[in-house]
């Protein structure tokens, strides 16, 4: 079998997650790794068992590398995705696609002109029960969507000593919690329900107005603690917590809460979608179980089991019932669909995976949420 050779750019938290998922696909080889310097690239490549190490410019010159995964801080997504497309590489980019709408629009246009496969890593769509909810809604099981309640809660920035590049607007953009995890929530809501968000009303809160930035490197989720003299005080002006009211194109309403300062919530996305026939509820920290609410009868619990799920959802399930699948499997299932397209050599007419256009859509919603918070008023999307 001729394998598709891939280069991964960036080795923070998410880069190795991409690598691990890619290694589970039989037709893919993670052939190269890229970092900010040749020295760091070689060290990370040795650590991750990857044969070839490059700087970004050198990686793009490698003719046998067909696809590039952009896993760098947000401010690099636009320039690196553009350069990769211009070099004739298929591109899988972390979210957000870019720092502003103009950059994202340019990438969508360029990707369309090249015909190259383009994807944005909204991997949470690929929990099997998220696909099941979408299919059930499409088949009419849910009925008309009456309301949506969503939340995405984490605690990794709970202390004022918690620090990461995502706290710096020049690297991550003007929004943090909404752009980082709220984007996943907004994407999956529209994906499952088929609705479009048409207006937003947002209210942000920054819990820690000043944070203590480590003067030594600390990796995301590492949990390492430094001494008081190892920190510098830095003012914070992006949100730790946000509430957003939503209006949808069917005339009905929703609300989401996003927080990175909720003690004990490590990475919990919850959805409750109430329809005219049933209610669906699901929690990413218990992703193999879905609650189905009924007015006139017993409530139900659907366990992730391909034999019990609709045929259209079985393609994102790899194991039988009782053999739990979780976060690492979502990237594998997404990349499985993306690399089917790459094997065919071009972007499908109707992709099943999230594309640059989806990345533009979530950036648009995020910018409208930011505008709403600034104005403290409803803003149309």
pLDDT digits (tens, 9 = 90+) for 224-254: 666 777 889 999 999 999 999 999 999 999 9
Q: Give the integer Cα–Cα distance in Å for 283 and 305.
A: 16
pLDDT band at 267 (very low <50, low <70, confident <90, very high): very high
Lowest mean pLDDT among 138-152, 229-243, 343-357: 229-243
- Identify the band that residue 223 occupies on the pLDDT scale cut at 50, 70 and 90: low
Single pTM value for the model: 0.93
Task: Spell out the domain ranges in the chain.
Answer: 4-116, 125-323+355-380
Residues 119, 359: Cα–Cα separation, whole Å: 8
Residue pair 67/93 in contact (Cβ under 8 Å)? The answer is no
Instruction: Return the pLDDT at 173.
Output: 83
Average pLDDT for 32-52 = 97
What is the largest distance, in Å, between two alpha-carbon atoms of the chain? 65
Summarised one tens digit per residue, pLDDT across range 6-19 is: 999 999 999 999 99
Phi, psi angles (nearest 5°) of residue 293: -95, 140
Sheet holding 90-93, edge to edge: 52-54, 28-34, 4-9, 67-70, 90-93, 118-120
Architecture in CATH of 125-323+355-380: 2-Layer Sandwich (3.30)
Return mean pLDDT, the chain.
Answer: 95
Q: What is the mean pLDDT of residues 41-66?
A: 97
**Are 178 and 229 within 8 A, CB to CB?**
no
Looking at the DSSP bridge assignments, the partners of residue 255 are: 149, 245
Q: Which residue has the tokens 């589970």?
A: 24
Q: How far is CA 56 from CA 33, 40, 299, in A?
A: 9, 12, 53
- From residue 111, alpha-carbon distances to 57, 122, 369 in Å are 20, 18, 26
Select the CATH number that applies to the domain covering 4-116 from these four: 3.40.50.300, 3.30.830.10, 3.40.50.1820, 3.40.50.720.
3.40.50.720
CA atoms within 13 A on the CB side of 265: 16
The yes-or-no verdict on residue 73 having pLDDT over 70 is yes
């Amino acid at each position: 079998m001729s394998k598709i050779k891939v280069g991964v750019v960036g080795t923070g938290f998410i880069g190795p997650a991409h690598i691990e998922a890619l290694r589970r696909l039989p037709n893919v080889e993670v052939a190269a790794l890229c970092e900010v310097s040749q020295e760091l690239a070689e060290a990370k490549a040795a650590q991750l068992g990857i044969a070839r190490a490059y700087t970004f410019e050198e990686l793009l010159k490698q003719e046998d590398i067909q696809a590039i995964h952009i896993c760098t801080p947000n401010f690099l997504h636009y320039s690196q995705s553009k350069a990769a497309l211009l070099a004739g590489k298929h591109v899988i980019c972390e979210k957000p696609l870019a720092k502003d709408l103009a950059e994202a629009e340019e990438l969508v246009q360029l990707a369309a002109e090249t015909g190259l496969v383009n994807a944005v890593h909204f991997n949470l769509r690929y929990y099997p029960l998220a696909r099941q909810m979408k299919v059930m809604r499409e088949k009419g099981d849910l009925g008309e969507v009456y309301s949506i309640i969503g939340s995405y809660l984490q605690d990794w920035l709970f202390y004022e000593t918690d620090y990461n590049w995502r706290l710096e607007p020049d690297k991550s953009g003007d929004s943090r919690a909404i752009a980082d995890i709220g984007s996943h929530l907004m994407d999956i809501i529209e994906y499952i329900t088929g609705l479009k968000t048409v207006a937003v009303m947002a209210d942000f809160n920054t819990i820690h107005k000043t944070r203590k930035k480590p003067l030594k490197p600390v990796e995301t989720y590492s949990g390492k603690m430094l001494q008081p003299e190892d920190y510098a005080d830095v003012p914070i002006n992006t949100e730790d917590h946000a509430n957003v009211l939503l209006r949808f194109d069917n005339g009905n309403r929703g609300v989401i809460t996003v927080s990175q300062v909720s003690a004990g919530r490590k990475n919990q996305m919850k959805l409750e979608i109430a329809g005219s026939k049933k209610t669906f509820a699901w929690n990413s920290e218990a992703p193999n179980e879905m609650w189905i609410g009924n007015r006139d009868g017993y409530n139900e619990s659907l366990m992730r089991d391909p034999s019990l799920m609709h045929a259209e959802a079985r393609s994102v399930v790899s194991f039988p019932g009782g053999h739990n699948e979780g976060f690492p499997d979502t990237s594998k299932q997404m990349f499985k669909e993306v690399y089917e397209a790459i094997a065919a050599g071009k972007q499908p007419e109707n992709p099943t995976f999230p594309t640059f256009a989806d990345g533009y859509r979530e950036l648009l919603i995020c910018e409208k949420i930011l505008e709403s918070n600034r104005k403290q008023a409803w803003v149309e999307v």
